[in-house]
Amino acid sequence: MKLLKKYGFSFLISQKLNGCYVNLPFNVTEGQQSELTDKVRDWLRNESCPYVTKGEDEAEDLLGDISGELEEGYLDMPIDSSYIFFLELNKNVILHVDAADEYLGQGDYTIYASISGLIVTPLVTEDEVREAVEWIKKFK
């Protein structure tokens, strides 16, 4: 798996607007819905794709475990900010991972890491989505 360092928030927004983004959990819809996202959402449902999110005690462990799957690079836990990571699983599926450690004020803060969604191309196959689900299930 390859960490894509050149993409950021604007890439995420453009993929959502272009109907190429599927949220995890898959029953939440965000961005432009399309035949593509509906098809992928059905495949995710058929494969019982889990939603993986870890709170403050396990967030850094999740990022470390995901990092162990990378060809190179590491997913660092942010400090007083949030990060977006994109991981290329294959030529048609990119996984979106979020991590945050943010002080919200008045003693409130949020710390988490999650596998938040999939970015897919119109050429994605059911087998490629199945491969993504199997990969995600490792971190359940």
Question: Could you write out the DSSP letters of every residue in 46-75?
Answer: HTTPPPEEE-TTTHHHHHHHHHTTSSS---
> Hey, where are the domains in the chain?
2-137
Residue 12 has pLDDT above 70, yes or no: yes
Q: Please give the average per-residue pLDDT across 43-71, as a whole number.
A: 95
DSSP letter assigned to residue 4:
-
Residue 89 neighbours by CB distance under 10 Å: 18
Residue 126 has pLDDT above 90, yes or no: yes
- At 34-52, the pLDDT tens digits run 999 999 999 999 999 999 9
Q: Please give the average per-residue pLDDT across 53-57, as a whole number.
A: 92
- Range from 16-30, 55-69, 94-108 carrying the lowest mean pLDDT: 16-30
